């Protein structure tokens, strides 16, 4: 089959590779659409240690089942599917407690690190264990379905946070996941959403996604507005979708006493934390890790038109042009958000 292989750091090559072989509990999916994730772009230069070459990356995908393993009865060739990015063990303490996203020895599709290597979807075919498959509703396209994964990451962060419709909620970072956080907050009926980002075009998209107020982080009007809306208390909840000292400190400074910070972004390995503010203002800080069963709800929102995933879609291109699209994303071309490749 043809695949886009990261052969060495910063070297993506479209080439022939051997067809993957499935075991009894797996299916072979003919890939129809696969999104380029920020983690693929950051990972390909070796900086994250999560894309050790050679590896076929790609974990945001959809396709058609081509072949099923011997133990599989629930799925058949021809089924339209998308799949979780986490491959987890069903017989695991965390999985059995309902937290498969935290299970031991889990793998991520298209990731290669010290602990594991698992081939991903920048290829004609990808091997998927049956327990992470989801059926695509009939009116949802393959490209839309390929964006289920990042939207589910956003929904998971909402699910583990104390959402109150009447709360004032700040979303720091209006990239793709931030945008989905905003849309999903709107779907959940949250009345006041403030978006912060450094880029004007992203803020415009945040507004289209449902943000009531948009600000650049250094805008003096931001604290003024928050004070005005909240009676000088500060916001109730922040979703942080960047993961830098600066943005997390900004988030903490705008929270009310007893407020909560849910962190999705993790660009920095470590950050400077204002410990005394966290303790004396009794803040709750929580990390949000990937997805824990949010796929079906997201697919339903895409199917019934509540969630607009196309808003973040910048381009669709053949897989063989993948290397040049990675390059454009790596160089942070303005306005370029989600790029979907089609084998
Ligand atoms: Zn991703």
**What is d(CA 296, CA 160) in angstroms, rounded to the nearest whole number?**
17
Question: What pLDDT does 213 receive?
Answer: 97
CA of 130 to the centre of ligand 1 (A): 20
Question: What pLDDT does 17 receive?
Answer: 98
Question: 3.90.180.10, 3.30.56.10, 3.10.129.10, 3.40.50.620: which CATH number matches 2-151+291-342?
Answer: 3.90.180.10
CA of 87 to the centre of ligand 1 (A): 14
Q: What percent of the chain has pLDDT over 90?
A: 96
CA of 192 to the centre of ligand 1 (A): 28
Of the pLDDT bands very low, low, confident and very high (cuts 50, 70, 90), residue 48 is confident
Mean pLDDT, rounded, for 331-335: 90
CA of 275 to the centre of ligand 1 (A): 31
CA of 279 to the centre of ligand 1 (A): 33
From residue 49, how far is each of 54, 112, 263 by CA, in Å? 13, 8, 21
Domain limits of the chain? Answer: 2-151+291-342, 161-287
**φ and ψ at residue 233, rounded to 5 degrees:** -80, -40
Is residue 148 pLDDT above 90, yes or no?
A: yes
CA of 38 to the centre of ligand 1 (A): 6
Question: What pLDDT does 335 receive?
Answer: 83
Q: What is the pTM of this model?
A: 0.95
Q: What are the beta bridge partners of residue 113?
A: none
Taking the domain 161-287, which CATH number applies?
3.40.50.720
CA of 204 to the centre of ligand 1 (A): 23
Mean pLDDT, rounded, for 144-170: 97
**Taking all residues of the chain, what is their mean pLDDT, rounded to a whole number?**
97
């Amino acid at each position: 089959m043809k695949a886009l292989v990261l052969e060495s750091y910063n070297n993506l090559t479209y080439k022939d590779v051997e067809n993957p072989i499935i075991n009894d509990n797996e299916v072979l999916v003919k890939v129809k659409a696969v999104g380029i994730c920020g983690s693929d772009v950051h990972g390909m230069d070796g900086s994250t240690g999560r894309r050790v070459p050679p590896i076929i990356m790609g974990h945001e995908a959809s396709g058609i089942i081509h072949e099923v393993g011997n133990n599989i009865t629930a799925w058949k060739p021809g089924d339209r599917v998308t799949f979780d990015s986490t491959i987890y063990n069903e017989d695991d303490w965390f999985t059995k407690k309902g937290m498969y996203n935290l299970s031991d020895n889990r793998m991520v599709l298209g990731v290669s690190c010290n602990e594991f290597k698992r081939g991903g979807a920048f290829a004609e075919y990808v091997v998927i264990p049956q327990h992470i498959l989801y059926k695509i509703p009939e009116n949802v396209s393959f490209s839309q379905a390929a964006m289920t994964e990042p939207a589910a990451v956003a929904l998971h962060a909402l699910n583990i946070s104390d959402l109150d419709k009447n709360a004032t909620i700040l979303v720091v970072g209006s990239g793709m996941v931030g945008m989905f956080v905003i849309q999903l907050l709107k779907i959940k009926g949250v009345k006041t959403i403030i978006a912060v980002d450094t880029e004007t075009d992203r803020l415009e998209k945040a507004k289209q996604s449902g943000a009531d107020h948009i600000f650049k982080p250094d805008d003096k009007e931001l604290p003024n507005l928050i004070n005005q809306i909240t009676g000088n208390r500060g916001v109730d909840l922040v979703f942080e979708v960047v993961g830098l000292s600066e943005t997390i400190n900004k988030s903490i400074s705008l929270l009310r006493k007893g407020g909560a910070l849910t962190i999705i972004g993790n660009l920095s390995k470590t950050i400077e934390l204002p410990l005394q503010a966290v303790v004396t203002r009794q803040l709750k800080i929580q990390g949000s890790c990937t997805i824990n069963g949010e796929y079906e709800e997201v697919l339903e929102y895409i199917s019934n038109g509540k969630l607009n995933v196309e808003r973040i879609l910048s381009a669709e291109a053949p897989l063989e042009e993948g290397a040049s699209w990675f390059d454009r994303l790596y160089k942070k071309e303005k306005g370029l958000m989600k790029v979907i490749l089609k084998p």
